[in-house]
Amino acid sequence: MTLPWHKPAFEKLKKMIDQNHLPHALLITGAPQMGKFDLMQQLVQTLLCQDQSCGQCALCRAISKDSPKEVLDTSVLIRRSHYPNMVYCRTEVNDKGVESKNIRIDQIRAFCDALNKTADDLQIGVLFYADQMNVSAANSLLKTLEEPRDNTLIILLAHNPKNLPATILSRCQSVHIAPAYDKQTQSWLEGHISDTQNKDFDIPQLLENTHGVPFKVLSELSGDGFIHYQNWQNQLLNIAVHPAMINQVQDFEGNEVEVLNCLQNLVIEGIRLKSSKHEGGLVELNQIIKTVKTDFLFRLLDDIYHAISLSKTPVNIKLLLDNILIVWSHITRLQRYPQITKT
């Protein structure tokens, strides 16, 4: 079963298989939790299963037993798939059981060695996530990509192709899983959440909030992520309508980046509604966009992006959020847009 938001990417892959144009190196990209691993599994099953990914045969079952979330307790350079002709290269654990941030050169060497074994059957190597290769690892992989052997398929999974060297990118054919907001994805989500959640939450809004990542909607709903989110969203909307409420916000401390993300989504939605001259589902937001200057929304959005990127540095994020909230609370009344973050 193809996930609805995988369809365009899968069709592209299927075409490559049908026309016998599958490259030696394939790059599957998409935001975290877009289901890159699942798409890879479906590709391999379609490629190898006699019955085009039936899901039932020994081969299909072996491949679907593999999981990117496998709990690692021992360190090995590469991992074997449940399907004998497939190996994985991924970040490993050290002796203390801590997972490393990078894929190292010795791992890539072992990965390429395993693939270079002479064999009649197609040998498949899957590397995730290619964004995590350090420079020497990437250079080492490049050698194998430059001299592709027959009967091997290397599949790289990556969150962001921008993090990969151009030399690697140029040797792979890419397939991207795009964020999904469409009706089919919405109905898939409806079928995967409880009746109560269907009543309590607006699915298009949930997809907006996760930037179109359906699995993220599920994982956040299974925790209390969205309850927090709705609480922040309500407070943010309140502040912009009643600036004095800024002194009564709750649950912002310690969640500064999440609150900034929430505000970012509100501002993006505000800009979208204002430019399309439509009203949205949030009453307060409709009220705000009636009087706000579009230019101020864009400038606030820039400041929010900047603050989120600064949050990875030792900046005082609480102070930064406070400053942004002061501007947001007066966004409909501002005469001039103030400077918040220095660029």
User: Strand pairing of 25-29 and 79-80?
Assistant: unpaired
* DSSP 8-state secondary structure symbol assigned to residue 68: T
Among 57, 93, 142, 178, binds Zn ion (CB under 5 A): 57
Would you call 18 helix, strand, or coil by DSSP?
A: helix
Residue 138's closest CA among 112, 160, 168, 163?
168
Closest approach of Zn ion to the CB of residue 51, in Å: 5
CA distance 253 to 267: 21
Binding mask 60-89 for Zn ion (x = CB under 5 A): x-----------------------------
The two counts, helices (H) then strands (E), for the chain are: 15, 6
Q: With respect to Zn ion, which residue has the nearer C-beta, 50 or 276?
A: 50
At 337, which amino acid appears?
Answer: Y
CB of 50 to Zn ion, least distance (A): 7
Nearer Cβ to Zn ion, position 52 or 248?
A: 52
Is residue 49 close enough to count as binding Zn ion by CB under 5 A? yes
User: Where does this chain touch Zn ion (CB under 5 A) — which range of 58-66, 167-175, 197-205, 222-230?
Assistant: 58-66
Residue 39 or 89 with smaller CB distance to Zn ion: 39
In the chain, at which residue ranges do the beta strands (DSSP E only) sit? 25-29, 79-80, 86-89, 123-128, 152-158, 173-176
With contacts defined by CB under 5 A, how many residues of the chain interact with Zn ion? 4
Candidates 51-59, 122-130, 136-144, 248-256; binding stretch for Zn ion (CB under 5 A): 51-59
Stretch that binds Zn ion, among 1-9, 17-25, 56-64, 147-155 (CB under 5 A): 56-64
Shortest Å distance, C-beta 55 to Zn ion: 6
Say which amino acid occupies 175. V
Contact 238, 284 (CB under 8 A): yes
Report the distance separating Cα 321 and Cα 217, nearest Å: 25
Q: Which span sits near Zn ion by CB under 5 A: 46-54, 103-111, 224-232, 322-330?
A: 46-54
Q: What does the binding site for Zn ion look like in residue numbers (CB under 5 A)?
A: 49, 54, 57, 60
